[in-house]
Structure 1
Amino acid sequence: MRIENHPVLDFDRSKVLSFTFEETVLKGYEGETIASALHANGIKVLRHDHRPRGFYCAIGNCSSCLMEVNGEPNVRVCIEPLVDGMVVKQQIGKGAFIGGEK
């Protein structure tokens, strides 16, 4: 699900990072956003707000990518850099979390 070859951009994939999404450990690369790492791992639904929401604007202008990151709700994961060891969870609406209230 990642772009492997691009005519203009180079991708540095020398540092692999591990992160947890909904209790599953996934891999990503240093320098990519949380949303792009999730997308590359086959995760298409980032949050729920009357319906499932996915990766949309990729520049932090919409609210489709709001997720809980390390216990903090409403993080725009399309612009938030991936960090080794972070914990990412889906959220419903404006901070009600799947699996119960925080």
Structure 2
Amino acid sequence: MSAESLFRPLAVSQNQVLIEFDGKPLSVPGDVCLAAALLASGVRHSRESAVSGRPAAPYCLMGVCFECLVQVDGQANVQSCLVAVRPGMRVQRQRGAVSLAPNEEGTDE
């Protein structure tokens, strides 16, 4: 059995788009999910644990683990692996727990 890695880097996308990450412009591949685009652009962690402050990065890339949470255009708790990149996105690292606004009846769900 070969010991050579089965994982290969994707070809560099020719479709680059400009987004903002933590207040800085970032050119990312435009034809992948936000989590993959951030990883491909050198972002090594996208959130910090609410308990310990430990940095975390996308893990499963299919919406199961919640390690890829970010804030997108002011909306907290966005799973970056489930969101397509679009030009002009304002993305911020999610630092700790971010509470959601109450629903219309005034209670949290």
TM-score category of the 2 structures, normalised to the smaller one: 0.7 to 0.9
Distance 2:96 2:60 in 1: 18
Where structure 2 has 5 or more consecutive residues not aligned to the other structure, the ranges are 1-8, 100-109
Which one-letter code corresponds to 1:75 in the other structure? V
The number of equivalent residue pairs is 88
Q: CA deviation at 1:45?
A: 0.7
Is 2:6 the counterpart of 1:3? no
TM (norm. structure 2) is: 0.73
Which SS does the other structure have where 2:78 is aligned? Answer: strand
Where does structure 1 differ by over 6 angstroms across 4 or more consecutive aligned residues? none
For 1:1-102, what aligned pairs fall within 5 Å after superposition?
A: 3-4=10-11, 13-49=13-49, 50=52, 51-95=54-98
Which one-letter code corresponds to 1:39 in the other structure? L
Distance 2:67 2:16 in 1: 26
Which SS does the other structure have where 1:78 is aligned? Answer: helix
- The alignment yields a C-alpha RMSD, in angstroms, of 1.7
Distance 1:63 1:28 in 2: 22
Q: Bigger radius of gyration, 1 or 2?
A: 2
Where structure 1 has 5 or more consecutive residues not aligned to the other structure, the ranges are 5-10, 97-102
Which one-letter code corresponds to 2:20 in the other structure? T
Distance 2:16 2:94 in 1: 26
